[in-house]
Amino acid sequence: MFIHKKPLQFEAQPDRSDPLVAKYLQELIGGQYGEMSVAMQYLFQGWSCRADEKYKDMIMDIATEEIGHVEMLATMVARLLEDAPVEKQQTALEKDPVVGAMIAGMNPQHAIVAGLGPRPADSVGNPWSGAYIIASGNLLADFRANLNAESQGRLQVTRIYEMIDDQGVKDLLSVLIARDSYHQNQWAAAIKELEDQEGTILVPSTFPRDKERRDIAYDFYNFSEGEASKDGRWASGKALDGEGDYHYHTKPKVEGKEPKLKPVTPKMYGTPKDVK
């Protein structure tokens, strides 16, 4: 059960109307790494969690917080669109180049589709997609995806922070940046805990290792020009999972033969093999 509280957790009040900034903020709402994505990702992970209750409770805490982030950003977008003189766009273009440029750069769907409101879409109008979310049922795999999502999200928020000068919007972004900072720490801590409990960094941890090609499980192949990659932690020394040693190879291993395909049935109307 979800219960909506009317007050926002943090204020979402811009200094002035600005349709272009509203367009920017759409990325933080409905982009691949926006708040809609992390909210739905965490909700579906939490709803299907069968592990220790503390993990489910933690996931649901964060998921519900992210719903509030969507509302704060949506409110900010709506307020940024208030008093936007879209019906006087041509006049604005002629009289005030700054205002004209601002209006000309707005997302037309904010006016045409949403009536000067936010959209469940990214900054160029692509609709949000459930394909963005990851909920595999394996907490270690999912928590690593969550860490990436928070890292990408924080990166995008900080970029927008540097792109704008509206202090009211920046105040909200500073909140989101701080929460993304914590969430990165949180998922990293949960990942470390699970790795320590499972005794490996591998996912899934219970898959029998004797069913994989152990002779190539720790080999690094140089597939590109140059050999600078051999100096990395991944190319030599004890493997992080503690079960092998990394080995650097200057050339890729080649065990297969050049593929030769049989002609398809004539009913497929492919190009005959003897055509030159």
pLDDT tens digit sequence for 154-189: 999 999 999 999 999 999 999 999 999 999 999 999
Q: According to the annotation, is 61 in a ligand binding site?
A: yes
Report residue 271's pLDDT band, with 50, 70 and 90 as the boundaries: confident
Report residue 102's pLDDT band, with 50, 70 and 90 as the boundaries: low
Report residue 20's pLDDT band, with 50, 70 and 90 as the boundaries: very high
Q: According to the annotation, is 94 in a ligand binding site?
A: no
Question: Which pLDDT belongs to residue 270?
Answer: 87
Q: Stretch 79-88: mean pLDDT, rounded?
A: 76
Question: Strands across the sheet with 219-221, in order?
Answer: 219-221, 245-249, 237-238
Question: Which pLDDT belongs to residue 100?
Answer: 57
Q: According to the annotation, is 183 in a ligand binding site?
A: yes
Kind and range of the H or E element at 98?
helix 97-104
pLDDT tens, residue by residue, 203-235: 999 999 999 999 999 999 999 999 999 999 999
Is the confidence at residue 95, as pLDDT, over 80? no
Cα separation, 203 vs 171, whole angstroms = 39
Query: Which of 7-11, 109-113, 208-212, 213-217 bottoms out in mean pLDDT, i.e. has the lowest?
Result: 109-113
Question: Which pLDDT belongs to residue 54?
Answer: 96
Question: Which pLDDT belongs to residue 274?
Answer: 78
Is the confidence at residue 202, as pLDDT, over 80? yes
The C-alpha angle 168, 112, 123, rounded to 5 degrees, equals 50
- pLDDT, the chain, mean: 92
Q: According to the annotation, is 123 in a ligand binding site?
A: no
Contacts of 202 (CB under 8 A, 6+ apart): 241
Residue found by looking up tokens 């990214």 in the block: 122
Q: According to the annotation, is 148 in a ligand binding site?
A: no
Q: According to the annotation, is 138 in a ligand binding site?
A: no
- The domain made up of 19-198 has a fold known as Ferritin (1.20.1260)
* Domain locations in the chain as residue ranges: 19-198, 209-249
Q: According to the annotation, is 142 in a ligand binding site?
A: no
Q: According to the annotation, is 110 in a ligand binding site?
A: no
Report residue 115's pLDDT band, with 50, 70 and 90 as the boundaries: confident
Q: According to the annotation, is 225 in a ligand binding site?
A: no
pLDDT tens, residue by residue, 41-67: 999 999 999 999 999 999 999 999 999
Q: According to the annotation, is 249 in a ligand binding site?
A: no
- The residue among 240, 152, 144, 153 whose CA lies nearest residue 190 is 144
